[in-house]
Chains A and B, each alone.
Chain A
């Protein structure tokens, strides 16, 4: 827009403004600025913990910097990628993209059907230009036409010159690329809406049924319908881990995790057995099963003073370090004179520290030991507030065994039984199972995301590697001229013109 125009049009009206805004939005410069803005806007999400990727990190951040965290939260810095401002940038960018690419598609379709452009009058002004004597008795224009048409140039002859064009695929690839980006965005959005992923911890021998109640936690997409969960059940038959025993500097490093699972469906009541590994999920119909974590689940039995069982089973212990020192919580609300809570430590290969405390020195089971601190009192299970099964609120409880009490903590080896204090009963360490954390996930969009990504990749490769050339050959008396022009970068243009000239010159 020239400056005089700007002053002369004080009231361009509403449509004028709309058109002006649209033109700004779909300009190359806006696209560039929005792209850079998007890159910058993505940065904070790698600095602050994100609720989607690292929810515990966010909780911790709030604990460590409560005041700052409040402020950051107002600006959605813990949810950067779903925030209003991040969304605004990419929505504007894609609006700009569509507004830019649609008219270009029209222009490109027209160009595909149009004749090559007129031959410019002064060819020597072109970036690449050669001129030399014509071959004796031959028409250089006719020769040029033959050579170029063999190279699949589109050619228009006008008088004693030809105008040839090639490389329409450059723009085609570019348009495919930009349209495919829209495809990726839509597939991500829509696919995400219909997706779900659920987590479930299973001890060896346990079975999980694929319905809402079967999950420990579930993150469904907005449009997800629980009825669509595939009707299947899954049993963790066993879970094996290989640790390095061999290489001195690497002892205890995990080499492989293997979960053997049996999947039963209405069509397959007997079930089929599969192996699930970290990089090898199980692709069942309607869901994939991924192995995301593991640990120990010691089998513990608690009996009252009469020897009647009040608690029994494999209890999931959460690993605390690479040597698999693990912590488990046992709650026994019934069948004992008082409610009982236990904070238990499991050491797969126990070693006593100088302080008298224990630690695990190898993640595999060589010399297993359970130690327990025991509490009595109100477990708070009746309050109606859902409680974390992996936490014990000890504030309302009285510690009866363990550090700081007159009774030492319980230490129980595999197969042994220890007495609870105050003649409450006994605890037996019956056995050790492992557990696996499984993710059951389904995302109908991911096939489309991949498809459009690959299309975009193909488009961009074609676009960036196809030269878009215009070539002219013109007869001037006894000599002829060759000139060429390329849209953007074209490493071989000069070489091409030189060879074409030589070929014509030699007949």
Chain B
């Protein structure tokens, strides 16, 4: 007889801790945004030095990350398993992973400058998680009781983290090169253009986005293979075009197209950046809509 002890009180506490992390991230978001607008009006456009303001923003983001980590770990203890088995848990763990990847790559000043984007995105993810995706702790359905859950989902979340950072860089690239920004006449747009000047050159942004996407693509390829191995064990076939499998394939194919575009004359640059963002849109769509509304074997949103 299997026995299992869920700790609902601890899971409630974990939710409170996640709210606390969100509060700190909100502060970090505003300080970091303020720093950008300040940097736009100073002479230090290449951000060699880290200003006090930026230091505060990053420290707040780090504090938020530590608190979030505590919340995620508590959720795992409350559920007596890894905290990534339904949509709510994917979101909080995914947000944590994204912040960790961000802090690991922060030595590059091109990444540091993205703090506002990244923290803003993490806030969006956490906000959706606590308001729409939240579910009480529950046991794992037998189909999910496998070490492949630990591997396959963890790698998918890691891949998504790298894709997210690449997307942030790509958005910065597009904002920097957009016609309406370059040619903008109104005061607001001219100020915005100044802010974008704080960001690295478009070549640098594009190149860095490419590097993050490469890592994401490799991890996503692994996710695909691990998923197929698991599907063989759990459902008797390694591939069956289940909706979630379809979208994993679509995402992989779009990013393969992205890598090609970078080596195709006439397609590198802006078009390739757009392709990468379409890939990221598919990642987000797969994560939210496909999980919640599409019919299939992967009905693990818990909603």
List A residues at the B interface (Cβ < 8 Å): 28-29, 31-32, 35-36, 38-39, 42-43, 45-47, 49-50, 52-54, 57, 80-81, 188, 197, 242, 244, 246-250, 253-257, 277-281, 288, 290, 292, 439, 441, 443, 446, 449-450, 453-454, 456-457, 460-461, 464-465, 488-489, 491
Contacts and interface: CB of A to CB of B under 8 A. Distances in A.
Nearest to B145: A279
A256 B142 contact: yes
B72 interface: no
B109 to A, nearest CB: 14
12 contacts: A35-B253, A39-B254, A43-B246, A53-B242, A54-B296, A242-B1, A253-B138, A256-B2, A279-B142, A446-B232, A446-B238, A457-B225
Contacts of B263: 28, 488
Contacts of A38: 253
B41 interface: no
Tell me which of A36, A43, A80, A290 has the highest count of chain B C-beta atoms within 10 A of its own C-beta: A36
A36 B257 contact: yes
A460 B221 contact: yes
Interface stretch (B160-168, B171-179, B190-198, B210-218): B210-218
Interface of B: 1-6, 8, 136-139, 141-143, 145-146, 148, 207, 210-211, 214, 217-218, 221-222, 225, 228-230, 232-243, 246-247, 249-250, 253-254, 256-257, 259-267, 275, 290, 294-297
Contacts of A460: 217-218, 221
A255 B221 CA distance: 31
Nearest to B143: A278
Given A250-B6, A257-B142, A491 B211 contact: yes
B10 to A, nearest CB: 12
Contact of B234 (A246, A279, A446): A279
B145 A278 contact: yes
A446 B240 CA distance: 13
A247 B253 contact: no
Closest 6 CB pairs of A and B: A39-B253, A290-B236, A279-B146, A35-B257, A278-B142, A46-B246
Contacts of B225: 450, 453-454, 457
A442 B250 CA distance: 27
Contacts of B243: 46
Nearest to A38: B253
Contacts of A278: 142-143, 145, 234
A181 B10 CA distance: 47
Contacts of A49: 295
Tell me which of A46, A254, A280, A489 has the highest count of chain B C-beta atoms within 10 A of its own C-beta: A46
Given A246-B3, A279-B234, A292-B235, A53 B241 contact: yes
Given A46-B247, A244-B4, A461 B253 contact: no
A327 B230 CA distance: 32
Contacts of A50: 241
A486 B295 CA distance: 47
Contacts of B266: 29
Contacts of B145: 256, 278-279
A233 B290 CA distance: 41
Tell me which of B217, B237, B240 has the highest count of chain A C-beta atoms within 10 A of its own C-beta: B237
B146 to A, nearest CB: 4
A281 B5 CA distance: 27
B222 A280 contact: no
B142 A457 contact: no
A52 to B, nearest CB: 6
A489 B4 contact: no
Nearest to B233: A279
B170 to A, nearest CB: 15
A259 to B, nearest CB: 12
Nearest to B148: A279
Contacts of A457: 218, 221-222, 225
Contacts of B235: 290, 292
B261 A281 contact: no
B149 to A, nearest CB: 9
A253 B236 contact: no
A32 B257 CA distance: 5
B218 A464 contact: yes
